[in-house]
Each structure stands twice: as C-alpha cells, then as structure tokens.
Amino acid sequence: MLWQDVKQQIAPRLGVSSALADERPIIFIDSVLQRLDWIDIDPAARRSYPISTAANGLGNQIDSCKTPLGIHQVRQKIGAGQPSGMVFEAREPTGRIARDLDNRDRDEITSRILWLDGLEQGVNRDGECDTFSRYIYIHGTSDEKRIGQPVSAGCIRMNNADVIELFEDVLVNDLVLIQ
C-alpha cells in the first residue's frame, strides 16, 4: 500500500489533519498479516515490522481486550533513552530489564511506548470506546517469540529492536490506521 492510498482512506474520515497536510509518514497496522508498515510519502523509505495484535481480535469496546480499529494518532512517546528490554509499569521504567524474551506468563511492556489516541468520535474516541483511556499502546514485549501471532491483551506488540527503531522516527500526532 502506498502513502497516497492510505491518505485516501483516512482523509474523508478526518477532514483536515495537520499530519496529512505535513505529509508525515503513516503507521498502518494490518491485523490479518500481523504487520506494521511505516509508510512514507517516498515509497523507498517504507519499512515493515512483524507485530502481535489482540488474542481477542479487533474491537473498540472498553474492557474487551481487543485491538481498536480505525484512525488514531500517537499522543505520547514514552521511554526515550531507556535500554532495550526496560520493563514499564504505569508508563514508568521499573529499572528491571526483561532478559527472558519467551515470557508467555506476563504481558510486559518493554523498551518504548507509543500511546495511541482515537480520532473518530464514537468509533475509538470518547465514551465506551476511547482508545486513549483504554491505554492502548504500540510497545516492546518480553514475549518476542510469539510476535506474528495475535496474542496481546489489546495493544500492538513489537520486537524490542523494532519498536526502538520506529520510536526514533515517529512524532507525536503521527497518524496510525488499524485495520
């Protein structure tokens, strides 16, 4: 998918958006392929990463443990400068580094956090479907062995090295389309 194709999907649903006007890259989450594409206006700059979405599938309802659909933006970036594998609790570094990357027992948030905010009123913003109040992130995980399978509790999990790389290029307010 090209940047222009994603823009055509997003623009009519949002109207005017500063992120689109600035022609910033767009993060496209493909839940079927379990892949995150960082789509730049320059097709040669595109990058793809394996991910894991929710074990419960897709959905926007609060307490559903599902990955929310629709158009989002990166509201906050958390974890800059922390070492790879740093475990976060309540968005704060714990000082503990996850060394077991086959940890299936805990849904640990590691390395970096991109906190998402829904932009579609009644779909993923406000009320019983608000992505931001559901604490939905793109983040590293201590369960890297299962990346590529839908196993999360709602967030988008990435390998630690991948989320660190992505984090460096993403800006607050960049758009994220989840399908």
Residue range 140-151: average pLDDT? 96
CB 124 within 8 A of CB 132: no
Q: What is the rounded CA–CA span in Å between residue 113 and residue 85? A: 12
pLDDT at 2: 86
pLDDT over 90 (residue 8): no
Domain boundaries, the chain: 3-178
User: For residue 1, what pLDDT band results from cuts at 50, 70 and 90?
Assistant: confident
Q: What's the pLDDT tens digit per position in 16-73?
A: 555 565 678 999 999 999 999 999 989 999 999 999 999 999 999 999 999 999 999 9
Q: What's the pLDDT tens digit per position in 98-138?
A: 988 888 888 799 999 999 999 999 999 999 999 999 999 99
Q: What's the CATH code, domain 3-178?
A: 2.40.440.10
Count Cβ atoms within 10 A of the Cβ of residue 42 and give its class: 0-12 exposed, 13-18 middle, 19 or more buried: exposed
Residue range 157-164: average pLDDT? 98
